[in-house]
Structure 1
């Protein structure tokens, strides 16, 4: 099945096929069942970015840790990948290949580059919009079919489901995913919901990149404040346990400082983090707060030349490292000098709590 009938270009295709594995069949059923309790599709906030490489056999393959909140994070991942390829070429005795990779990495150190070709392959910074399902009970939590293999405190060792994922709109999907993809592709920001440049780029993208692919789901933490849910953190996790681990870290380390908690309140927050580790739930009440691990859908738009890159209206304030160095020196600063200002009390307290949390995690049974 296609969205527009026979003869449609591949990048505008939505193909439906029978799932090839029982787990995929169950995931498609869970997606369909989620439509009733969570009927509304809402923006999950800012887009995320990652690195993809064009494959000779078609499609674009994602590199690990897709989810940078700003394009520069993905550009830095690209520079790191080119340095890794340079090291491989060096070990293989390929001096020309090593030099090509290093040149590309060094360009990224000084310029904002969203696409380049190295060793015959195209690499691109790819943009994904984030959405959540919501209903009367609030945003949708993780589903029972979402992979969640890591124990508490060890989500950093879990496989990233998006690593190696191939962006290819011609690959068949289940019925539920195909319907969701069509719904998300039809969404365009309404007037008054965002600044004019964002609205302009949203409408333009619907024309230049009318196709799309859904990435593996990601997970975030949201908080209910005054009856409305809002992101508690701007970062996505690759698994539900990754989001729980991030929340537990906030409860034990960040919140005591940024919220100015008393000793009694710190104990309450630590016990809530222990409960989260033990029960691996989705909702958590601590003091007068209600927090939830939330499932996010991520859509990459596709055009004739592949996946969409950063838009001109995307928040992109970070500079490449050499350009940042140059501007600092132009203002009379010395990037190599040690900071004359000692850390303040809050910074010292954060460092102390981080060290304590690291010791606690090292001492957990089975931790290596």
Structure 2
């Protein structure tokens, strides 16, 4: 066992700070009550994003993808934007060449770590989970910020993503409830023997060693539905506020298709009618065409080690090749014309 003496490395810290201001006191009480009412943690599929290292800390650029390659493509688009914003002058020639090289690399190769113009970038992996109780998934808490509180009408603006710009800092102080939750999540692994492939469980155990700490990410919200005695996702989108999640209750594609052989024009007309007639629910639990729905609170954490946040695991589902490599494969199979 490694001994650090009095100096514990930052990446191993869980620093709990007593906060006695009224807002923190109410939030802690909410968290305590919900941990009792919704004691079971249910993990969802991992999500992926990109981050950059700034002044020794990793800052999230985006965290929205369910496939690592889609996130790599997004990072390539980020470099394309930076390239377009960099003037084409003699002074910026080296900077532009690095952006161009990074774009080519991501277009052709599976890359999870790279350095561009002296700054490190990484594809990161996060683990979402929800709390479950006897009555189903945890709804929003009274202390969760919401620009359109329960009982109000349609949201008038977007709160934006709380993930973008979030600093992954394991040494930052946290409240008592979050600190206890982090300690609970540190040893958490996939355990479903016989259900999950062996490599998934092995990667999960390995992560305890390579990335031994966890950082909680901003809370998100989605929509669940109760069908055939089971709660399941109605939407796989994660929104930054409960109000934005209520907007997901509008309709699904199946709701608006008038009949099996509907033409595109009929579907478009039905979609436009649905948009005009839709009114967002004013509660966190409601029915849509007889189906019980609930706005559901989604928490997430990311594992961290001495070198920063965890990258995609070898066993993570990653079926897509990089775009240029994919195009090359399609041309070789005769499914895409050769470029002149």
Q: TM-score range by the shorter chain?
A: 0.7 to 0.9
TM-aligned CA distance change 1:25 to 1:322, over 3 Å: farther
Instruction: Single out whichever of 217-226 and 141-150 deviates more from structure 2.
Output: 141-150
Counterpart of 1:327 (choices 326, 329, 333) is: 329
Q: What per-residue deviation string (whole Å, max 9, x for no partner) do you get for residues 204-247 of structure 1?
A: 11121110100001122222222221222333222223322233
Give the alignment of 1:188-207 within 5 angstroms: 188-190=189-191, 191-207=193-209
The whole-number CA distance in structure 2 between the counterparts of 1:142 and 1:36 is 15
2:257 counterpart SS class: helix
Q: What per-residue deviation string (whole Å, max 9, x for no partner) do you get for residues 157-207 of structure 1?
A: 322111111001000001111111111222222223412111111111112
Instruction: Single out whichever of 218-227 and 86-95 deviates more from structure 2.
Output: 86-95
**8 Å contact kept, 1:16–1:174:** yes
1:186 counterpart SS class: coil
TM-aligned CA distance change 1:23 to 1:330, over 3 Å: farther
Gaps of 5+ in 2: none
What's the counterpart of residue 8 of structure 1? 8
The whole-number CA distance in structure 2 between the counterparts of 1:216 and 1:259 is 41
Q: CA deviation at 1:260?
A: 5.9
TM-aligned CA distance change 1:197 to 1:240, over 3 Å: same
Question: Is the aligned partner of 1:175 residue 2:176?
Answer: yes
**8 Å contact kept, 2:249–2:281:** no
Gaps of 5+ in 1: 338-368
Q: CA deviation at 1:20?
A: 9.2
The whole-number CA distance in structure 2 between the counterparts of 1:278 and 1:292 is 10
Counterpart of 1:233 (choices 232, 235, 242) is: 235
What is the aligned-residue RMSD (CA, Å)?
Answer: 3.1
What's the counterpart of residue 70 of structure 2? 73
What's the counterpart of residue 218 of structure 2? 216
What's the counterpart of residue 248 of structure 1? 250
1:148 counterpart SS class: coil
Q: What per-residue deviation string (whole Å, max 9, x for no partner) do you get for residues 317-342 of structure 1?
A: 122221221111111122699xxxxx
What's the counterpart of residue 125 of structure 1? 123
Q: CA deviation at 1:22?
A: 5.6
TM-aligned CA distance change 1:160 to 1:304, over 3 Å: same
Provide the TM-score with structure 2 as the length reference: 0.85
TM-aligned CA distance change 1:261 to 1:75, over 3 Å: same
What's the counterpart of residue 17 of structure 1? 17
Counterpart of 2:95 (choices 94, 97, 122) is: 97
The whole-number CA distance in structure 2 between the counterparts of 1:214 and 1:5 is 26
1:124 counterpart SS class: strand
**8 Å contact kept, 1:69–1:235:** no
TM-aligned CA distance change 1:278 to 1:42, over 3 Å: closer
TM-aligned CA distance change 1:29 to 1:97, over 3 Å: farther
**8 Å contact kept, 1:89–1:95:** no
Question: Is the aligned partner of 1:108 residue 2:86?
Answer: no
What's the counterpart of residue 34 of structure 2? 34
* Residue correspondences, number: 323
Q: What per-residue deviation string (whole Å, max 9, x for no partner) do you get for residues 63-122 of structure 1?
A: 14x121111121122111112222232267512101111210121112221110011111
2:184 counterpart SS class: helix
More helix by share: 1
What's the counterpart of residue 83 of structure 2? 86
What's the counterpart of residue 342 of structure 1? none
The whole-number CA distance in structure 1 between the counterparts of 2:301 and 2:326 is 32
Provide the TM-score with structure 1 as the length reference: 0.79
The whole-number CA distance in structure 1 between the counterparts of 2:129 and 2:186 is 11
Give the alignment of 1:35-54 within 5 angstroms: 35-43=35-43, 45-54=44-53
**8 Å contact kept, 1:30–1:145:** yes
TM-aligned CA distance change 1:10 to 1:103, over 3 Å: same
1:36 counterpart SS class: helix
Q: What per-residue deviation string (whole Å, max 9, x for no partner) do you get for residues 22-80 of structure 1?
A: 6555434322221121111111x210011111122x3200114x121111121122111
